[in-house]
């Protein structure tokens, strides 16, 4: 795991849209820390620092440390990150407190590895990603920045499902917990596909055309036979 990111924050007392607008004009982003059975804390964060950190994928799936006014520290994860739909601006950040002695649940991204040696991709197949992140449970000290999904052995037509993901030690896939509680009929439905290798589009279209032609020929033969009768 990379070095923990530290966010330097300022405590704030003013609330409302007007106060938030004033903060943003000063280059600050309104934020709140909540959870773990404690009172929420309203803070502000440096906008320029957030823009820099958000370029790192791990920023959204790691435990961050918030230092408030150079004193009190909180361990948190990002729970909500609101951006302007048009401009490169962060509008508000929700941070969830983490107790380092208690199990936590969060989502982490999937990294697909082994594409360069996959026989299916080498044969011209196309990697199709159906899921890009998963929900996990673990102790904070075991939180991975991402989960690797190995596609190095996949052939065209092969796929990997949730139940086939290899999880790091001490990390549980929440989808599997839900599957264990389900009856047999629903387990297969819940075991979603994560990634697959599809045949090249040209080859698929060619195969479909051939199947269509075969059906047409069969239909024509049947019609000819009927005419003869």
pLDDT tops 50 at residue 48 = yes
Structural domain including 51 reads 6-97
Q: Identify the DSSP state of 2.
A: P
Asked, for residue 186, whether it belongs to a domain, the answer is yes
41: CATH: 2.40.240.10
pLDDT grade for 225, boundaries at 50, 70 and 90: very low
pTM for the whole structure: 0.78
Average pLDDT, the chain: 89
Query: Residue written as tokens 């609101």?
Result: 82
Q: What are phi and psi of 150, to 5 degrees?
A: -85, 115
Do 74 and 145 lie in one domain? The reply is no
Of 39, 70, 97, which marks where a domain is finished?
97
Query: Which residue, 171, 49, 177, 51, is CA-closest to 108?
Result: 171
CATH number (domain holding residue 155): 2.170.120.20
Same structural domain for residues 152 and 198?
yes
Is residue 117 a part of any domain in this protein?
yes
Is residue 116 in a domain? yes
Q: Distance between CA atoms of 205 and 190, rounded to whole angstroms?
A: 30
Extract the tokens encoding 13. 């007392």
Question: In the chain, how many domains are there?
Answer: 2
Do 46 and 64 lie in one domain? The reply is yes
Residues 110 and 191 in one domain: yes
Integer Cα distance of 142 and 150 in angstroms: 20
Q: What is the mean pLDDT of the segment spanning 64-92?
A: 95
Q: What angle do CA 124, 126, 130 make, to 5 degrees?
A: 165
The more confident residue out of 43 and 185 is 43
pLDDT, residue 229, reads 40
């Amino acid at each position: 795991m990379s070095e923990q990111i530290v966010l330097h924050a300022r405590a704030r007392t003013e609330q409302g849209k007007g106060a938030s607008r004033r903060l943003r004009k000063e280059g600050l982003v309104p934020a709140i820390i909540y959870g773990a059975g404690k009172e929420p804390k309203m803070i502000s964060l440096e906008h320029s620092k957030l823009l820099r950190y958000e370029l790192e994928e791990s920023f959204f799936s790691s435990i961050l440390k918030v230092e408030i006014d150079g004193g009190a520290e909180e361990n948190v994860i990002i729970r909500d990150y609101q951006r302007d739909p048009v401009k490169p601006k962060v509008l508000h950040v929700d941070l969830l407190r983490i107790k380092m002695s208690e199990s936590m649940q969060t989502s982490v991204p999937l990294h697909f590895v082994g594409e360069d040696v996959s026989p299916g991709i080498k044969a011209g197949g196309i990697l199709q990603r159906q899921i890009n992140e998963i929900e996990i449970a673990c102790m904070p000290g075991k939180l991975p920045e991402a989960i690797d999904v190995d596609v190095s052995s996949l052939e065209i037509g092969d796929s990997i499902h949730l139940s086939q993901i290899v999880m790091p030690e001490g990390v549980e896939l929440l989808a599997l917990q839900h599957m264990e509680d389900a009856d047999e009929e629903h387990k297969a439905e819940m075991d979603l596909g994560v990634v697959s290798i599809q045949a090249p589009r040209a080859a698929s279209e060619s195969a479909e055309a051939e199947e269509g032609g075969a059906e047409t020929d069969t239909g024509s033969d049947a019609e000819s036979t009927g005419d003869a009768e």
